[in-house]
Amino acid sequence: MFNIERWQEIFDTISKNKLRTFLTSLSVASGIFILVILLGFSSGIENGVRTQFEGDATNRISVNTRMTTKGYKGLNPGRRLQMTNKDYQNLSDKYEDHIEYKTSIYRSWGGQINYKEKQGNYRIEGAFPDQQFIENASLSQGRFISLDDIEESRKVAVLGYQMKQDLFPDTDPIGETILLNSNINFIVVGVYTDPGGSREESRLFIPMTTAQKVFNAGENIDRIAYTVKMSDNFDEAVALSAAMRQAIDQDLRTRFSVAPDDRIAIRVNDTLEEAQQIYNLIDTIRWVFWFIGIGTIIAGVVGVGNIMLIVVKERTKEIGIRKALGALPSEIIWMVLHESIFITAIAGLVGLFLGVGLLQLIAPYAQTDFINNPTVDFTTSITTVIILVVSGALAGFIPARRAANIKPIDALRDE
Q: What is the mean pLDDT of residues 211-220?
A: 94
Backbone angles phi, psi at 3, to 5 degrees: -120, 105
Closest CA to 81 of 205, 224, 216: 224
Q: In the prediction, which pLDDT does 240 show? A: 83
Secondary structure letter of residue 262 according to DSSP: -
Number of other CB atoms surrounding residue 272 within 10 Å:
25
Cβ atoms 100, 60 nearer than 8 A: no
Calpha distance 329→253 (Å, rounded): 79
Q: In the prediction, which pLDDT does 370 show? A: 63
Q: In the prediction, which pLDDT does 25 show? A: 75
Confidence of residue 357 (pLDDT cuts 50, 70, 90): confident
Calpha distance 93→84 (Å, rounded): 14
pLDDT digits (tens, 9 = 90+) for 120-143: 999 999 999 999 998 888 999 999
Question: 30 pLDDT exceeds 70?
Answer: yes
Q: Which helix (H) or strand (E) holds 114?
A: strand 99-115
Closest CA to 269 of 64, 61, 100: 61
Cβ atoms 220, 208 nearer than 8 A: no
Secondary structure letter of residue 232 according to DSSP: S
Task: Considering only residues 307 and 53, tell me which one the structure prediction assigns the higher pLDDT.
Answer: 307
Question: 191 pLDDT exceeds 80?
Answer: yes
pLDDT digits (tens, 9 = 90+) for 221-247: 999 999 888 766 667 777 888 889 999
Q: What is the mean pLDDT of residues 252-269?
A: 92
Q: Which residue type does 345 have?
A: A
Mean pLDDT rounded to a whole number for the chain = 81
Task: Considering only residues 363 and 260, tell me which one the structure prediction assigns the higher pLDDT.
Answer: 260
Backbone angles phi, psi at 357, to 5 degrees: -65, -40
Q: In the prediction, which pLDDT does 1 show? A: 45
3-state secondary structure of 343: helix
Question: 190 pLDDT exceeds 70?
Answer: yes
Calpha distance 346→262 (Å, rounded): 62
Q: What is the mean pLDDT of residues 166-181?
A: 92
Question: 367 pLDDT exceeds 70?
Answer: no
